[in-house]
């Protein structure tokens, strides 16, 4: 909730004095407060109306606000409520209400609901007010010191590093600058400074990143930066959004939660800057992260003190219950979010948190995916002995799935059940036999409610809350509260289940790649070798017909071997978001000459014209050979036999252009749109011969060119024939790792 009023003070300087806001409509009261709190340590700021107070509080961060309840126009409660709205979430200012009205419980409750840290009755006792204010002043100072120290230490080091880098730049030959700058960045400890490629894969990693995010460089380089985000942010597409903003606006900045390698959350200030080359093409992002968790914690501590004070003051049973609910919601909510991946453990935690404040006995039953009947996943009881008893009961007397009341019915109907009182007759009616009845009675059930865990399109299970032996009773109000909570729990469960299904798919894919990459090659090699053995024998026996059979066998096994490589490339590029390349210094002319000679040997009746100067650059030689073999072989295959295939390689505007051209029938219109798609239909058309592959060659060629940060496109017409153009930068962004 940000509004124009919400001026932010992210790095407040350490003020010598602690700012305190005094709000009262009566000058006499203000004078009294100023007298009581007069101290060189405090800066007292005065507001005469609620409106002024809200305005002031939105502009600066006060250590504490002393707020009169009874004011004309806008009273203290309304003022507090607006202050909360205008303050950035999670940064509420502690408020102490001052009131002359004696002992009105509902008012005190409302004050706490509005975020009161404390409540003081007029006439104020000077000692009491000084003591209370000094507690918050001390907290404020501690918090400020912490923030300032962090900011200064971090910024000093970064500034020193950058200055040193600038000096280095001035003094060093440019080839060394990058290396030295890199060393400096790598040694910065207070900031995680990370380079991402345009898709968000981590390319560099420094000491600060290791300290803040917990990964060693070799564990994270090449992985997506999504690893640092809470799962719910990833699902919501936040990562893509951030890169998108950085791409469009040059820069993305925010404070938010991130995840460390060990799963812990950290509150981080993150800046993502788009990096562009001279041609203004996006080449990646620089991501700078600062860990502000400590600052956030100290603020939380402040809030916690406020809660504790509130607990002390709230004495009636109703207040305690309300606080217990809030406490439960806060803790359970945290449990649901933070460990949502193992939802069974999470549900057990939630059930434990509910006892004893909200129930003497809490149990959760889930209908697991694929199962028809609910199974218990968590049971907690104030008395551990009873947990055993309850387990025994469910095992020996599983609930009748067709029962018209109870957990199965709640799951079927999705409607909650409330038993404010459990009469003896109900127990007797639900017991199967006398032993069952004895066990149920031993649980001493007095009041119960069962609420459904309702997911997006089915009821996932049910949560039961039971009061036993403690004289408490559930009301409709409690049911509404529990339903609300159960909805959140159900959402967490569904997320976790979706995540589990996804990891199963990923695991399957990895296994698939392993089978393809390893297990299929051995039998293929064995067939090849066996064919070669037979060929030896056929040759020595002068058996020509057998030699033909063996030639076909060999050609088929080669084709299959190529297909395996292609499917492997396809799978890798799909799973890893692109193909990996290993660039090395090379001359493209050597590669092209080799390919042309080899293809001429295989097709002695055809001619290929190669026009190429020496073209040095940093590319992956094996992968480029794959690309050009594929393109030139295609040109021979589909081009007309009478005219030569031409390969024209040259340098233009800082890019390398290679045109592979053949005359003859153009690529059919309907095929052109999906030319670079994997398994395209065109590979099955009449033009394809019996040696057709899987329709993966062009797809993979384009993936390879894209991995070099280049481009591959095709033009085809009856008058001009067909030309495939490969565009390559002299060097892809990623330097060779060795």
Partner 1 sequence: MNHTVLLVEDDDELRESMRELLEGNGYTVVAASDGQEALDALARVEHLCVVLLDLLMPRMNGWDFFEKLRERPELTGVPVIVQSSAPSRAPAGVTRVLKKPVEPELLVSVVRQYCAE
Footprint of partner 1 on this chain (CB under 8 A)? 517-518, 521-533, 536-537, 557-558, 561
Cβ nearer to partner 1, comparing 174 with 522: 522
Output the six-digit token pair for 338.
Answer: 């933070």
Least distance to partner 1, CB of residue 391, Å: 44
Q: In whole angstroms, give the CA distance from residue 122 to residue 101.
A: 8
Beta bridge partners of 22: 46, 66
In degrees rounded to 5, what are phi and psi of residue 414?
75, 10
Q: Nearest distance from residue 606's CB to partner 1, in Å?
A: 24
Q: What are phi and psi of 343, to 5 degrees?
A: -75, -25
CB atoms within 10 A of CB 456: 8
φ/ψ of residue 381, rounded to 5: -150, 150
Tokens for 162, please give them: 């950058």
Three-state DSSP at 302 gives helix
Least distance (Å) from partner 1 to the CB of residue 547? 14
Among residues 316 and 555, whose Cβ is nearest to partner 1?
A: 555
Please name which of 69, 67, 123 lies closest in space to residue 94, comparing C-alpha atoms: 67
The smaller minimum CB distance to partner 1, of residues 304 and 537, is found at: 537
Q: Which is nearer to partner 1, 182 or 521 (CB)?
A: 521
Least separation in angstroms between CB 510 and partner 1: 14
| Residue 177 vs 564, nearer CB to partner 1 | 564
Residues whose CB falls within 8 Å of the CB of residue 590, separated by 6 or more in sequence, listed in order: none
Reported as half-sphere exposure (CB side, CA atoms, 13 A), residue 683 has a value of: 17
* Nearer residue to partner 1 within complex by CB, 147 or 581: 581
For the chain, the residue count is: 738
CB of 526 to partner 1, least distance (A): 4
Which CB atom, from 453 or from 579, has the smaller least distance to partner 1? 579
8 Å CB contact between 98 and 120: yes
The dihedral over CA atoms of 616, 618, 622, 626, expressed in degrees to the nearest 10, equals: -70
The single residue listed with the structure tokens 């707020």 is: 67
Tell me how far, at minimum, the Cβ of 684 lies from partner 1, in Å: 26
Q: Which is nearer to partner 1, 253 or 565 (CB)?
A: 565
Question: In the numeric block, which tokens belong to residue 298?
Answer: 């100290």
DSSP code of residue 335: H
Which of residues 25 and 528 has its CB atom nearest to partner 1 in the complex? Answer: 528
Least distance CB 554 / partner 1 (angstroms): 8
Q: What value, to the nearest 5°, has the Cα angle with vertex 431 and ends 413 and 381?
A: 75
Nearer to partner 1, 2 or 737 (CB): 737
Distance of closest approach, residue 519 Cβ to partner 1, in angstroms: 9
Shortest distance in whole angstroms from residue 535 CB to partner 1: 8
Choose between 297 and 521: whose C-beta lies nearer to partner 1: 521
Give the count of beta carbons closer than 10 Å to the beta carbon of residue 183. 13
d(CA 42, CA 20): 7
Nearest approach in angstroms of CB 557 to partner 1 is 8
**To the nearest whole angstrom, how small is the minimum distance from the Cβ of residue 731 to partner 1?**
22
With b for 16 or more beta-carbon neighbours within 10 A and e for fewer, the 401-429 pattern comes to eeeeebbbbbbeeeebbbbeebeeeeeee
DSSP state of 366: E
């Amino acid at each position: 909730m940000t509004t124009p009023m919400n001026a932010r003070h992210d790095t407040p300087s350490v003020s010598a004095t602690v700012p305190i806001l005094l709000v009262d409509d009566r000058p006499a009261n203000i004078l009294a407060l100023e007298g009581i709190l007069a101290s060189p340590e405090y800066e007292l700021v005065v507001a005469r109306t609620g409106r002024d107070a809200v305005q002031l509080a939105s502009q600066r961060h006060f250590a504490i606000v002393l707020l009169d309840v009874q004011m004309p126009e806008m009273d203290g409660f309304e003022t507090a409520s607006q202050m909360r709205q205008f303050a950035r979430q999670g940064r509420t200012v502690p408020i102490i209400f001052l009131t002359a009205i004696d002992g009105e419980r509902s008012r005190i409750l409302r004050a706490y609901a509005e975020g009161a840290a404390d409540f003081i009755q007029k006439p104020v006792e000077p000692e009491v007010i000084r003591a209370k204010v000094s507690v918050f002043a001390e907290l404020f100072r501690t918090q400020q010191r912490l923030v300032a120290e962090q900011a200064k230490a971090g910024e000093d080091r970064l500034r020193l590093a950058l200055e040193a880098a600038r000096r280095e730049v001035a003094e060093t030959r440019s080839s060394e600058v990058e290396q030295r700058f890199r060393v400096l960045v790598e040694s910065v400890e207070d900031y995680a400074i990370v380079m991402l490629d345009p898709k968000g894969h981590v390319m560099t990693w420094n000491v600060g990143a290791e300290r803040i995010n917990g990964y060693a460089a070799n564990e994270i380089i090449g992985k997506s930066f999504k690893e640092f985000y809470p799962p719910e942010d990833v699902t919501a597409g936040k990562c893509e959004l951030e890169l998108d903003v950085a791409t469009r606006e040059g820069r993305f900045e925010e404070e938010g939660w991130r995840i460390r390698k060990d799963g812990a959350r950290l509150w981080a200030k993150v800046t993502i800057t788009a990096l562009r080359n001279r041609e203004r093409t996006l080449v990646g992002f620089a991501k700078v992260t600062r860990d502000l968790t400590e600052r956030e914690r100290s603020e939380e501590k402040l809030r916690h003190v406020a809660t504790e004070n509130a607990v002390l003051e709230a004495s009636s049973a109703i207040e305690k219950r309300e606080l217990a609910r809030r406490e439960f919601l806060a803790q359970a909510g945290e449990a649901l979010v933070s460990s949502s991946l193992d939802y069974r453990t999470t549900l057990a935690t939630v059930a434990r948190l509910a006892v004893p404040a909200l129930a003497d006995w809490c149990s959760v039953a889930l209908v697991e995916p694929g199962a028809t009947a609910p199974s218990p996943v968590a049971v907690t009881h104030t008395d551990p002995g009873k947990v055993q008893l309850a387990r025994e009961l469910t095992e020996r007397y599983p609930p009748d799935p067709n029962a018209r009341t109870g957990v199965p019915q709640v799951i079927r109907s999705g409607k909650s059940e409330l038993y404010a009182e459990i009469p003896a007759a109900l127990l007797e009616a639900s017991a199967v036999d006398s032993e069952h009845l004895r066990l149920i009675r031993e649980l001493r059930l007095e009041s119960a409610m069962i609420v459904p865990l309702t997911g997006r399109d089915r009821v996932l299970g049910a949560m039961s809350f039971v009061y036993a032996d403690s004289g408490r009773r559930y009301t409709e109000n409690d049911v509404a509260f529990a339903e609300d909570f159960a909805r959140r729990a159900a959402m967490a469960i569904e997320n976790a289940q979706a995540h589990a299904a996804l990891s199963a798919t990923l695991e399957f894919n990895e296994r698939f790649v392993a089978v393809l990459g390893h297990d299929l090659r051995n039998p293929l090699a064995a067939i090849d070798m066996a064919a070669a053995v037979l060929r030896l024998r056929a040759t020595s026996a002068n058996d020509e017909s057998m030699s033909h059979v063996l030639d076909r066998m060999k050609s088929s096994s080669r084709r299959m071997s190529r297909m395996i490589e292609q499917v492997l490339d396809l799978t890798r590029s799909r799973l890893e978001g692109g193909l990996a390349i290993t660039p090395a210094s090379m001359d493209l002319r050597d590669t092209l000459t080799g390919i042309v000679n080899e293809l001429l040997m295989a097709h002695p009746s055809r001619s290929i014209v190669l026009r190429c100067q020496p073209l040095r650059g940093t590319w992956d030689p094996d992968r480029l050979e794959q690309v050009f073999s594929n393109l030139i072989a295609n040109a021979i295959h589909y081009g007309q036999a009478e005219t030569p295939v031409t390969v024209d390689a040259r340098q233009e505007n800082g890019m390398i252009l290679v045109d592979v051209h053949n005359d003859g029938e153009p690529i059919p219109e309907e095929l052109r749109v999906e030319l670079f798609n994997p398994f395209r239909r065109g590979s099955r058309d009449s033009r394809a011969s019996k040696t057709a592959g899987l329709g993966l060659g062009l797809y993979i060629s384009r993936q390879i060119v894209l991995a070099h940060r280049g481009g591959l496109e095709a033009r085809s017409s009856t008058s001009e024939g067909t030309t495939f153009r490969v565009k390559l930068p002299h060097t892809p962004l990623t330097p060779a790792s060795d």
